[in-house]
Structure 1
Amino acid sequence: MDLTKEDLRNDAQTYDFSFERLKIIINGLKNALNYLSDSELSIDWWGTMDEKYEHESICNLAILAFEHYLKTTIEDYKIVNEEDNSQLYYSEPNISLIFILAKYLKNELESPQKALSHYNLNIHDYPVYNGVIALNSRRDLDEIVKQIKTWRNKIITIYYAE
């Protein structure tokens, strides 16, 4: 019995072990953010802690985890018939923002301020923290994960088009 494209598509959308690993990583980062907010910032009576500064490093890790997952997805589902896959893969603004922020973190941008200003981010005002807010106004990492999963499902649908 041969598998149909529909079977392959459903299987690819249902079983994604990389996604499960991403959820574990993001869950740990959410716990770190919650701990920081509940335990550290809540007892800062003198107001000496800067929430953006404190959250920036955790947001950095989240962006790098998102980028790793997205790159894995791109490698798994390259569309052979497309001349320029980058247009397809960078078509979603939020996905593109994740890649820009990751490149910023890894110092891979020639002109970081120009790239960040496209998303109304300033290099001198916690760009990753504000980038996470641009991805989700409540800084809900689970919602960003859902957006990434939706994007992946679109790519799979195109990859296994009939």
Structure 2
Amino acid sequence: MDSTKEQFIDHALSYDPDFERLKVIVKGLNEAIAYLRDEELAIDWWGTIDKKYEHESIYNLAILAFEHYLKTVLTGVKIVNEEDISQLYYSEPAISLIFTLAKYIKNDLDFAHKTLNHHHLNIHDYPVYNGVIALNSQQNLEEIIKQLQKWRTKIINIYYQQPETE
């Protein structure tokens, strides 16, 4: 008995071990943020700790984890055409922002600072911290991964709706 296209879609949508790994990473980062807020910033009577600076390093890790997850989604559905991958990367502003911030974090040589400006981020004003705010105004990393999961569902549906080539 051959599997139907709907069964492939259902399996692809229900089986996502990479998402479970991402949730573990985000849980750890949320614990780091909670510790920072409860322990470090709570005792900062003089106001000398820069909240944006402190959060920026944690958010760098989150953005890199988000980027890694997005790349695994695209390799998981076996999209090999570079043009298609590029279109999918930038199919939604939030996804585009994640890839832009990841390039910034990794000091990508091809990275143009104009792309930060496109997202209304200033390279001199904590772009990753402000980028996370752009992704979710409450800076809720778990809400951001829910957006990524919705994007994955969209990509899987697009992939399986394509006509089969022989």
Range class of TM-score, shorter chain: over 0.9
Q: Secondary structure at the match of 1:45?
A: coil
- Partner residue, 1:30: 30
Q: Which amino acid aligns with 1:57?
A: S
- Partner residue, 2:39: 39
- Partner residue, 1:144: 144
Q: Secondary structure at the match of 2:161?
A: coil
Which stretches in structure 1 are left out of the alignment for 5+ residues? Answer: none
Cα distance between partner residues in 2 of 1:125 and 1:94: 19
Cα distance between partner residues in 1 of 2:78 and 2:93: 19
- Partner residue, 1:52: 52
- Partner residue, 1:128: 128
How far apart are residue 78 of structure 1 and its match?
Answer: 3.6
Residue pair 2:103, 2:111 contacting (<8 A) in 1 also = no
Q: CA, structure 1 residues 81+99, in 2 after alignment: closer, same or farther (shift >3 Å)?
A: closer
Cα distance between partner residues in 1 of 2:3 and 2:38: 50
Cα distance between partner residues in 1 of 2:35 and 2:81: 47
Which stretches in structure 2 are left out of the alignment for 5+ residues? Answer: none
- Partner residue, 1:73: 73
User: Which string of whole-angstrom CA distances, capped at 9 and with x for unpartnered residues, describes residues 54-105 of structure 1?
Assistant: 0000000000000001011111124468953311332110000000000001
Residue pair 2:104, 2:111 contacting (<8 A) in 1 also = no
Q: Which amino acid aligns with 1:38?
A: D
TM-score (norm 1): 0.94
Q: CA, structure 1 residues 125+112, in 2 after alignment: closer, same or farther (shift >3 Å)?
A: farther
Confirm or deny that 1:105 pairs with 2:96. Answer: no
Count of aligned residue pairs for this structure pair: 162
Cα distance between partner residues in 2 of 1:85 and 1:12: 18
Q: Identity across aligned pairs (percent)?
A: 67
Cα RMSD over matched residues?
1.7
Cα distance between partner residues in 1 of 2:78 and 2:22: 20
How far apart are residue 15 of structure 1 and its match?
Answer: 1.1
TM-score (norm 2): 0.92
